[in-house]
Amino acid sequence: MISRSVISWKSTNYVRLRDKSDFPVCYYPHVEINIESAMPAEFDRGRRIAALIQHEVAVVLSREMRDRRLSMLTVTRVDLSRDHKKADIGVTSMDDPLERQAIISSLAKVSGWIRVQLGRCLHLKVIPTLLFYYDDSVEQGMALSQLIDDLQK
């Protein structure tokens, strides 16, 4: 088999290439694309799904939770696994630092219910399993900013 075959139609200026692995890559000639850039589209989809999950979990926590501690949480990040079956969700709160463990254990108890709510609004083949953790990056950033301010004085 030929390692590269090119088919071109003049009416649409559409070109189809095949690389060595026989993975078709389609593009228009006026747009610069190489074969190596065909794979990151999957990663963009993962980022979009993670952003959707982050938004919807924040909505569910703020609008549908009866527990005040859980309704006042901020969803800071969502890390989605490559197969989209597991989502690590970072949350932060302005509450007492001693309540962090209680907040995370409460979230672990209601994670199945939150997953059902996600299934109702996100039309995905698989709704990922939700694993919550306390994200202290905001506090670390504030501490670092305070150190920089102290050094400038």
Q: Within a domain: residue 136? A: yes
Kindly state whether residues 14 and 58 are assigned to the same domain: no
pLDDT of residue 39: 53
Whole-prediction pTM value?
0.67
| 53: exposed, middle or buried (Cβ count in 10 Å: 0-12, 13-18, 19+) | buried
Task: Report the domain count for the chain.
Answer: 2
Q: Range of 120's domain?
A: 41-145
82/23 same-domain check: no
Per residue in 62-95, pLDDT (tens digit) is 888 888 888 788 999 999 999 999 999 999 988 7
Q: Say whether both 48 and 32 belong to one domain.
A: no
